[in-house]
Amino acid sequence: MDYQLIVAVIVGIAALLFMILKLRIQAFIALLIVCIIVGLLSGLPVKNVITSIKNGMGSTLGFVATVVGLGALFGGILESSGGAEGLANYILKLAGERNASWALMISGFVIAIPVFFDVAFIILVPILYAIAQRTRKSLLLYAIPLLAGLAITHSFIPPTPGPVAVADILGANLGWVIVFGFVAGIPAAIISGPILAKYLDRRMFVPVPEPGKVVNIKKDSYPNPWHIIMIIALPIFFIILKTVLLGGSNKRIEFPEFLTELIFLLGHPFTALIIANLIAWYFLGIKRGITKEELSKISMKSFRPAGAIILLTGAGGAFKQILVDTKAGELLASSLQDSNIHPLVFAFIVAALIRVLQGSATTAMIAAAGIVSPIILANNFGAAQIALFVISIASGATILSHVNDSGFWLVGQYLGLNEKQTFKSWTVMTTLIAITGLLIAVLLWYIT
């Protein structure tokens, strides 16, 4: 029976990669097909396979769909109001051109919390062009730090969809994920951002594509940057506050029941993001003269990219449930316990392999979470340790971006890089993020 489960999992993963890589089947459909394959090969009755898929989809989407939807809406309002560009310009003004690399890293790190990676990058590209033209230095000196900040937040810090989806599949506390996302993300951003950019600047000069074609928005049209910072920080603050005050069973302070309920309500991602959306709706929309009709259009537009992520995450939850119900996950967990490999390293390797083979970081994160989740269910890991699994998976799913990743071509196109230059800059950057993230996650495992 053990051999049957092993064969079922191997065939399922091979089928997943074959359908995505060779047949170009959408990952959502491919994951659902794999659920059926693994379920049937493991000996589950047909009705039980369908029930597992339904239960896995339902339990996952109940949380993820709400958080991703609210996060997408929040990012849409920030993007359309000019808040992302305004905040980046403000940070650059404070730092000055001499520290522009560090300022752009911080801008990317903050702005990618509510705004999708590719959208944020496209919005901020004109700022890169303008700075590189003024300083007459290589575009990579400024682009790499910005990309590092964007990529790390996109993979490590909720409410971006990837870590939210993985946290839900693994049952991780979002507050801990946010805390460890910052702890691991900041050093990773420094190493793969300004430090790498300075190294590349001495070896590779990249001019601004199409000189003079720089888009500028009048400064008067930007929202107050401090409003942007406070709106972005508010939901993160509430979620972390709930985790710190109520997250552990050994909490030292006992609160009155009404205060406990209030902290729990405000710190839940649903409520925290609803509050942030309402504040953004008023300060970045109504107060700035945007009509209700325009806000409605912005909202509908922002939901479009969220739909694919939500469905893909649901399919990842279904895959997890199949592994649990077939007991294949228990076999995987016991096999890992018998080996000498660290559980975080195992999670990293699984995510990295899927990432390298099929390209999408989000798909790699969700598929790896489904494979790793039974290991967590079979062990008595603490909340902090489970959150570190999220960071480890996110790190693995970031590694070695290459020609099968849309981000590889997006960055190359906008920066005017050929494939060799993109490998030497963007691919190296993503790999440094991954390795740094894993090392810090393993270190935190022994500290916490």
Render 38-88 in DSSP notation, one character per residue: HHHHTT--HHHHHHHHHHHHHHHHHHHHHHHHHHHHHHHHHHHTTHHHHHH
Contact 31, 316 (CB under 8 A): yes
Query: 229: how many CB neighbours lie within 10 A of its CB?
Result: 15
What is the pLDDT averaged over residues 311-325?
A: 81
3-state secondary structure at position 140: helix
| Integer Cα distance of 355 and 18 in angstroms | 14
Give the pLDDT score at 144: 96
pLDDT surpassing 80 at residue 408: yes
Specify which of 79-88, 135-144, 180-189 reaches the highest per-range mean pLDDT: 180-189
Give the pLDDT score at 218: 46
Helix, strand, coil shares of the chain as percentages rounded to 5? Answer: 80, 0, 20
Contact 149, 103 (CB under 8 A): no
| Integer Cα distance of 298 and 289 in angstroms | 14
| Integer Cα distance of 34 and 11 in angstroms | 9
Give the pLDDT score at 119: 77
Both tokens of 19, joined, read 């359908």
| Integer Cα distance of 445 and 105 in angstroms | 27
Give the pLDDT score at 442: 96
Lowest mean pLDDT among 154-158, 285-289, 337-341: 337-341
Give the pLDDT score at 212: 41
Q: What is the mean pLDDT of the chain?
A: 84
pLDDT surpassing 70 at residue 253: no
**Band of the pLDDT at 332, cuts 50, 70, 90?**
low
Give the pLDDT score at 1: 45
pLDDT surpassing 70 at residue 329: no
CA 43 vs CA 31, 328, 332: distances in Å: 19, 11, 17
pLDDT surpassing 60 at residue 161: yes
Query: What does pTM read for this prediction?
Result: 0.78
Would you give the DSSP letter of residue 342? -
Give the pLDDT score at 330: 65
| Integer Cα distance of 102 and 149 in angstroms | 10
Contact 191, 432 (CB under 8 A): yes
